[in-house]
Every structure is written in C-alpha cells, then in structure tokens.
Chains A and B, each alone.
Chain A
Amino acid sequence: MLLSIDHVTTYRYDSPARGVVQSHRLTPSRFEGQRVLAWEVSVTGGVEGGSFRDGAGDWVQGWSVKGPVEEIEVRVRGQIETFDTSGMLKGHREMVPPEAYLRDTPATEADEALRLLAESARHDEPLSYAHALAFAVAGAIAYRPGVTDAHTTAAEALAAGEGVCQDHAHALIACARVAGFPARYVSGYLFADAEGTPHEAAHAWAELFVPGYGWIGFDPANRCCPDQRYVRLGSGLDAREAAPIRGTARGAGAEHLKVAVSVQPPEAVKSTASQSVATQSQAQ
C-alpha cells in the first residue's frame, strides 16, 4: 500500500532558548515490510548534525538550532510503500542481541498484577503465548485517551485499566519480559482507513522476540499484528528510548508542544502531495 506521511511537531518556548539540540529517529526502518519512495525531515533554522544507523537498525540524525529561538517546527514528509509481513520484522539488519531487551526500565517494570497477567496467558508454544499476552493486555487495558500521560508506567496503566497505545505497549513489554521474551517498544505511524477505527496516526506498539521466528510486532491497542497500514520508525526498551524526537532546549522557559500527523493514501492528498513531498530522499 502507498502511504503519504505529513508529521509536524512544533515546539514553542515561553522565553527564547539559547540553543536547541535534538536527536531524531524519524526515518522508516529498512525491512521487507516497507520501502521508502521519498522522505524528508526539516527543522526550521536547524543545522544537521551527525547521523548513523544504530545497532538496533534505526537511522539516527542529530540536529541543532542556534539561539535565541522561540519556536521550531520539525516536519517529516514522505511517501512509502508498505507490505504485510504478518507482523514479522523480516530482513531487518541489527546488531543488538535480543537478550539485551530483557532488561527492565522504570516504565516497563512488572508488578505483581502484570506478573499475574503474564501467567494467566501462559501457553507452551511460544508464538501462541506471545499472541495470548497481547490479547490479555488488550483485554486488561481499555483504550481511552486522556487518562494516562507520557510518564504513566505499565503497572499504573494496568491498575487504571485504561490507557492509550503507549500504555498497551508498555504493559505488553512488561508481561513479555516476565514470560522470558525479549521485548521492545516500537514507534511509528498508522494509517486509519474509512471503515477501520485504529487509534492515533502517530502510533506505538511492541515487538517480542519469539524463538524460531525472530522479532514480531504486536499491537494490543488494535488487537492485531502490524500489517501494511503500519510504518515502523524505531525501537527502544520503552517509550522514552524509542521516542522519534528527543531533545533539550538550553535556558528556555516552559516548552509547549503541538503535534499534527496525517497518514493518507497519496490520492487523498494529491493536490498537496505533489508539491510538498520533497524530491530528495534522505541518505541512508
């Protein structure tokens, strides 16, 4: 499926920052499920910094903006062709050993309730167990925006019984690690078609390392595995580590963040797409 992405993040500072530094994971992963046709990331007033493909296979690009700066816009525009790989991360080159994803972070630490949840889904066959974990989490945490925030932990979300995709992913990661699966957080985009009701165009899900299969994506929020509607950007131990944009502003006042994401088939944005999609694609 062909998808056009337009993702704009605006940072506004109450008092001008003396300088801003960001690290981006805003370029789609390279694996059999997706092929980039055109991709461009721009930062107003930004100077491109170092870039590299990290051990997890993500393309990382540093940026800096000289101060004083009151507002920055980070804009991602691109076109990508996606394929259904049944959630499997096929042909993805990475150096990090799966065992390194067995480590907990504060956001994904399992409490007794998460441990019980993991236990309740137990199957002998690993792939079935992984699926069961994803369903268990989907059943235990209802989708409801506004209840949790960026700092909510997996344990807190499960206790609340409500949350968004970040909470689903954290809870699944916590349960998976209890069950002995290396697990990680994945950030990306999701296309919402007319009939479907998937949540959040800027989306997140989890990947579990299943013996015999490798890394497989699970999206408890939508009770499915990632297919051609999904665009994968990057991964980490939890949401903070997998954040598409990490940054700091030096000497700034309070920061205000605004995010607008659109994921559409190209014909739906034909009029703007032909102008707005840059011809150059990012070196990878």
Chain B
Amino acid sequence: MGGYFNEMYDGKSVRAPYARLSDWMASMPADRRLEKQAEAEALFRRIGITFAVYGEGGDPDRLIPFDMFPRVFTGAEWSKLERGIKQRARALNAFLVDVYGRAEIVRAGRIPANLVFQNEAYERAVCGFVPPKGVYSHIVGVDIVRTGPTDFHVLEDNCRTPSGVSYMLESREMMMRMFPELFRENRIEPVDRYPEALRRTLASVAPAKCDREPTVVILTPGHFNSAYYEHSFLADLMGVELVEGADLFVEGGFVWMRTTEGPKRVDVIYRRIDDAFIDPLCFRPDSMLGVPGLMDVYRSGGVTICSAPGAGVADDKAIYTYVPEMVRFYLGEEPIIPNVQTWKCGEKDDLGHVLANLPDLVVKEVHGSGGYGMLVGPKSTKAQIEEFRELIKADPSNYIAQPTLALSTTPTFVEEGIAPRHVDLRPYCLVGERIELVPGGLTRVALRDGSLVVNSSQGGGVKDTWVLAE
C-alpha cells in the first residue's frame, strides 16, 4: 500500500495515537480474534442491529460488518477537525437562511442563480421563512477523508438526515463490552452523550408557540425502511416517541400524535423522510408516509421540522464546490478543512478535462448517494469507463469528477490477520441554540483489499472511532 498514509505506522515506528494498541494487537492471535468477532456478531444480532442495503432490498437481517480494530485521533488532530466541521455547519446554515431570504450570495455573484433556484432541492414552499433559531440543518454529517498526517478534505456534506450515528454508538458500546481494558489504558473521549445532545438540540429549536417543555418525536417512513433500526434506537435513547405519518395529524394550527389517552401535541419533529414525502398537500400528493397539512402548521409556526424542508439545496454535489465560498462570504474566514478538488462536467473546460482523464478520476452523479451512480476510474475496466463516458456526455451537468484520493488506511482485522484498509470519517455536528460535536464519528472501512469504496452497501464495514483525551 505504498503512497497511502497509514494512520498507525510511520515507516516502522508506531504513530503516537496508536502507541498503546501495539500490545493489544499482539494479544490477539487468530483464535482469540475469531472468538471475539463471533461474540460481537452475536451481540449485534441480539440487539437487532441489521442493515438493509439502500435501494437493493435483499436480506433485511443482514449485519453491517464490524471491525474491532479502532481508529484513533489525537486530541490535537480532533480539535482542528472540530473547528473545521463547526465552521462548515455554520456556513451551510447561513447559506440556507440566505437563499430562502434575500439570497445575498447570489446577488453578490458568488454562486450562480440557476444552481440554487433551479435546483430540485430548492423548495419554493419555504421561501421567506426563517426556522426557529435560524437553523435549517440541525444534524450536519460531514464526510471527511484523510490523505496525510495533517491533510484532511471534506468529501461531501449531508444536511438532510445523515444516517449511521447508531453505528457510532453501537460500535463504542461493543468495544467497551468486549475490551474494557482498552478503555482503562487509553483515555478515550466518550460519545454516549450524543442522544442527549441531540434531544437538547431538537428541543432548543421548538417553535415560539410552544410554551412548555417541548415534545419531540422522530418521524420514520416505517418499519420496512432500511434505517428503521437506527430510528427506533435513537428514539429509545432520547426517550421520545418514534412515529409514522399516520400517527400524526394536524388540527387548529398544531400537530398532534394519536395516543391511547387521546391527542398529544407535538412541537418538534425530527423527520427521517424526504421533503417530497412529508406532506401530500404540499409536495407529492401520492405520499402515504407524510402528514397532510403539516407544512401549513410548520409555516405558521406551530411545529418545527428538523431538518427544515429545503435544507437539501445545501448538500447538493453541484453546490458542494461553493461551500468554501460560503465560508468566506458569511463568516469572513478561510475554510479550515478544504474541499476535494472538483470538476463540474456541466462546465465546458471541466468537461474536457474529465473526459480526457477518466481512468484517473472518480465521477459521481450530482444527486446520487450511497456510492451508486459512481465511477472509480483506476478501479474500472475499459468497458465500464466507456459506458460512463457516454452517460456523462448525454447529461454533463448531472456529473462531477474528483481526483482519485489517496485515502488513508488503518490496520484492520482481515482473514489473514491484520492489514491496512482504506477509511473515511463521518462526524455528526449538532446545530441548535448552540453548535455541538461529540468527539468521534462513524469510521467506514473498505474491507476489500485495495478498495476505496467505503459504503456499507458495497462491502464497507464500520469501526469504533477514538478521540484521545489530552
């Protein structure tokens, strides 16, 4: 794996954050490792964490692979990441309030009007509306890759409803159960306050009409959804109800949930369904998942919806390239964590470059997610590349391209023992009255040798992510 930054080894020497893991590694011969791996799997199954591949159907009881080798950051590394992530979360929210208001950034010519206003994720229905505390995206998932000791890049932003936080919590729980000694030897920042922090964040954006302790609920598309486990897990840890659309109704300018004791008012809805489905009166009329009339209540200040409808316009891949510009425009700062260089196929010069260098590039659909609709040039056959070339030519503005990143590796348990595998990182930044970031995140690992695709739908697994207390 020459050319890739290994987070544990610097040549032959072990980097500081991993120092104490050497002995532990040595204490894990194959039989013990297999035994522990089996134990972890049994625990996951018992708890009921399963994962259905997005859009693929398949076995709903499949487990997402869990790698026991933790990924470690020093306090100093984290503190820089934290500042960079919070900076980005602030800029993205400022952008959202702006484009649904006077759109100063467009007037100032810093971002093209068509990218914003003709974007499918731009919701006219919320123009002129400022959500409580001016927050559109309450949970910002920032996907970060590392390419060197001090080199971090933002790969993409998730402003709607980033998933996976249950794996961050469960991975930690699993490690603490199986290897308590590691947590005595290393001073690791806890992540288990996340659910409480999330609940507090959501409660802090209750609408002005709420004159008591806010009632928060999580709105799920239902038990057939692949992330249902995460929805019920979070609801349970936060101590709030997990509701489906049919459990809610609107009356008298408020939202109510149907309980065995009669209607109970709901103040804040953490929705895990897309804008298009939340209110059949306002958006897709065929939606069975939403709550008819919800948007009227929302716009008249009777309920808060998190993330706010319309937040998606900030995490579009075409908008992504302008996020550093947002940081400069709204905060007057330079971005702490840079973007990955990105070519917009919709622009002539960029398109030429992309088509000329396809074998070296990663090409993504502007609206795609989950690692689908994607070409990894160096890992693709000639035929695959040519096939993609035609797709790009047919609809250039639907694609962006980035250099193939030298994603860092961390040691990972594999069949033959321990080997480096590529990883990325998704921390979850909470934005309410305050901005909070639990020290840690979801580390996804590409379990296949040489693979750079970490998506769980494509052979990726998860790891516990440690931030060492200074």
What residues make up the interface of A, taking CB atoms closer than 8 Å to B?
19, 21-23, 47-52, 54-56, 60-62, 64, 66, 94-97, 99-100, 102-103, 237, 240, 246-248, 250
Contacts and interface: CB of A to CB of B under 8 A. Distances in A.
B111 interface: no
Interface string B242-282: 00000001111100000000000000000000000000111
B129 A246 contact: no
A66 to B, nearest CB: 8
A79 to B, nearest CB: 26
B326 to A, nearest CB: 18
A49 B252 contact: yes
A49 B249 contact: no
Contact of A248 (B114, B124, B292): B292
A247 B113 CA distance: 33
B117 A100 contact: yes
A275 B249 CA distance: 36
Most chain A CB atoms below 10 A, which of B114, B251, B297, B301: B251
A50 B299 contact: yes
A59 B114 CA distance: 27
Nearest to A247: B281
A51 B297 CA distance: 8
A208 B117 CA distance: 17
A97 B113 contact: yes
B129 A55 contact: yes
B241 interface: no
Contact of B302 (A50, A60, A247, A248): A50
B189 interface: no
Most chain B CB atoms below 10 A, which of A56, A97, A100: A97
Interface string B116-130: 011010101111110
A66 B256 CA distance: 13
Given A55-B128, A56-B127, A95-B101, A49 B114 contact: no
Given A21-B292, A62-B293, A99-B114, A49 B251 contact: yes
Q: How big is chain B's contact interface, by range?
A: 35 or more
Interface string B302-333: 10000000000000000000000000000000
Interface string B56-82: 000000000000000000000000000
Contacts of A248: 280-281, 292
13 contacts: A48-B253, A49-B250, A49-B300, A50-B299, A55-B127, A56-B124, A64-B249, A64-B293, A95-B101, A97-B103, A97-B113, A100-B117, A247-B292
Given A21-B250, A97-B117, A248-B280, A50 B125 contact: no
Contacts of A56: 124, 127
Interface SS majority for chain A: strand
Contacts of A47: 251-252
B285 interface: yes
B296 interface: yes
A241 to B, nearest CB: 9
A47 B297 CA distance: 13
B250 to A, nearest CB: 6
A99 B100 CA distance: 13
Contact of A99 (B117, B129, B250, B281): B117
A284 to B, nearest CB: 13
Given A50-B299, A55-B129, 17 more contacts: A21-B281, A23-B293, A47-B251, A48-B253, A49-B250, A50-B300, A56-B127, A60-B296, A62-B296, A64-B249, A64-B293, A97-B106, A97-B117, A99-B117, A100-B122, A102-B118, A103-B120
A21 B101 contact: no
Most chain B CB atoms below 10 A, which of A66, A94, A248: A248
A238 to B, nearest CB: 12
Contacts of A22: 281, 293
A55 B124 CA distance: 7
A67 to B, nearest CB: 11
Given A21-B292, A100-B117, A103-B118, A55 B252 contact: no
A50 B301 contact: yes
Nearest to B120: A103
Nearest to B303: A50
Most chain A CB atoms below 10 A, which of B114, B124, B253, B282: B124
Contacts of B120: 103
Nearest to A249: B292
Nearest to B114: A99
B430 to A, nearest CB: 27
Contacts of A64: 249-252, 293
A97 B253 CA distance: 28
Given A62-B296, A99-B117, A55 B281 contact: no
B252 A48 contact: yes
Contacts of B296: 23, 49-52, 60-62
B299 A95 contact: no
A214 B327 CA distance: 33
